[in-house]
């Protein structure tokens, strides 16, 4: 059954709607942790657990 | 402030501060006036190339973490960069994660009324040519050509990211060009697409994603364009060690790649639309 992407913008090409996945992630983050990415440079992102010194990054 | 005036103010501001800068990253007119492309300026004589208009859609902050070693300071000089509201959020995220040193940057923020999606514009007016200028005036996009002036309602030509933008103003900047703007939507509408999608049942959603991801050719353009996808050559999608994904192009691998991409951006994605 065909399903139309609800977020699709008419005539904006034929992109795979990967943004919808990121929007869902952000919605969960907002609901659970009341956090929005990229707003306050001093804030510590709640999911920032990796080591920036990790080889190869 | 009119668009031409913003461009002029932008150029003048960088001219004034160029002695402290080793590089300016901004936008210039592309192969015609309907296209804007990134420009990297190292000589003050080239500052006249800089432009600001609704075609300046590319998020330039992606160049800082990936293409330039912005965290090493040389001669005390800074990198000047132009950002819209959405771009500035990417900068903040990169600063938070120590990929960029804030002190190394001279940020010129531009409140943005929205960027035009060329595909949408060209669909409405396939014969569009000899464009002189594209601007946003209130709720209309105005396109001036040698022959005529065309007006389009913004909901018909703006990029999707701009139609759901909550942050038209830069959240971090050293200089702001123009005055702050009001967002086009209210906060409760931000995730309306996700909410609508969630109303469908699981089987429908799975079928939807299978169909969509089946079109993916794993070209990694989505990863390369993303300012926050910083692993590059060590991306888990291509890495042999650890080997999480094969190079097969079946739906399973494509699905997993996009889920990994999404999860790696959880809590980091600023929804810049790149």
Q: Inter-axis angle of helices B202-214 and B251-264, to 10 degrees?
A: 100
CB contact under 8 A, A12 and B159: yes
Of chain B, the percentage scoring pLDDT greater than 70 comes to 97
Residue B37 is given by DSSP the state E
pLDDT of residue B65: 84
Is a pLDDT exceeding 90 seen at residue A51? no
pLDDT of residue B70: 53
Residue B270 contacts A where some CB pair is shorter than 8 Å: yes
pLDDT of residue B74: 64
Strands B105-109 and B78-83 turn out to be parallel
Strands B105-109 and B175-176 turn out to be parallel
Give Cβ neighbours of residue B33 (< 8 Å, ≥ 6 apart). B131, B132, B133, B134
Residue B92 contacts A where some CB pair is shorter than 8 Å: yes
CB contact under 8 A, B89 and A12: no
Give mean pLDDT, residues B245-258. Answer: 91
Alpha-carbon gap: B191 to the closest alpha carbon of chain A (Å): 7
pLDDT of residue B79: 93
DSSP bridge partners of B109: B83, B176
Give mean pLDDT, residues A1-8. Answer: 56
Residue B269 contacts A where some CB pair is shorter than 8 Å: yes
The residue assigned the tokens 């909410």 is B195
Nearest CA in chain A to B274: A19
**Chain A residues touching B265 at Cβ < 8 A:** 22, 25
Nearest CA in chain B to A33: B267
**Mean pLDDT value across chain B:** 91
The answer to whether residues B227 and B90 touch, using CB atoms and an 8 Å cutoff, is yes
Closest CA to B72 of B99, B107, B106, B41: B99
Phi and psi torsions of A43, nearest 5°: -75, 150
**Measured CA distances, B243 to B110, B224, B236 (Å):** 42, 20, 7
CB contact under 8 A, A23 and B191: yes
pLDDT of residue A50: 63
pLDDT band at B69 (very low <50, low <70, confident <90, very high): low
Give dist(CA B169, CA B160) in Å, integer. 17
DSSP bridge partners of B141: B136, B152
Segment (H or E) for B143: strand B140-145
pLDDT of residue A1: 42
**Chain A residues touching B95 at Cβ < 8 A:** 41
């Amino acid at each position: 059954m065909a399903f139309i992407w609800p977020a699709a913008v008419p005539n904006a090409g034929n992109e795979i709607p990967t943004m919808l996945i990121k929007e869902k992630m952000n919605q969960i983050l907002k609901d659970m942790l009341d956090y929005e990415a990229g707003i306050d440079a001093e804030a510590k992102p709640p999911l920032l657990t990796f080591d920036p010194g990790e080889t190869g990054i | 402030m009119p668009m031409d005036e913003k461009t002029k103010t932008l150029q003048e501001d960088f001219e004034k501060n160029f002695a402290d800068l080793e590089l300016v990253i901004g936008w210039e007119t592309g192969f015609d006036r309907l296209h804007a492309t990134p420009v990297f300026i190292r000589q003050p004589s080239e500052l006249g190339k800089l432009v600001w208009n609704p075609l300046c859609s590319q998020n330039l902050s992606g160049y800082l973490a990936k293409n330039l070693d912005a965290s090493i300071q040389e001669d005390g000089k800074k990198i000047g960069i132009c950002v819209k509201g959405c771009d500035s959020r990417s900068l903040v995220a990169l600063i938070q994660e120590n990929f960029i040193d804030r002190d190394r940057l001279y940020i010129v923020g531009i409140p943005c009324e929205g960027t035009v999606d060329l595909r949408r514009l060209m669909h409405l007016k396939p014969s569009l040519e000899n464009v002189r200028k594209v601007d946003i005036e209130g709720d209309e996009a105005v396109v001036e050509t040698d022959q005529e002036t065309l007006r389009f309602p913004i909901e018909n030509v703006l990029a999707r990211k701009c139609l759901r933008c909550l942050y038209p103003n830069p959240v971090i900047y050293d200089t702001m060009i123009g005055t702050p703007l009001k967002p086009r939507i209210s906060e409760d509408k931000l995730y309306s697409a996700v909410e609508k999608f969630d109303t469908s049942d699981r089987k429908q959603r799975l079928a939807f994603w299978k169909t969509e991801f089946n079109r993916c050719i794993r070209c990694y353009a989505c990863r390369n364009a993303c300012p926050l996808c910083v692993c590059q050559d060590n991306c888990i999608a291509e890495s042999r060690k650890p080997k999480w994904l094969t190079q097969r192009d079946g739906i399973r691998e494509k699905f997993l790649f996009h889920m990994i991409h999404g999860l790696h951006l959880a809590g980091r994605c600023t929804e810049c639309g790149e």
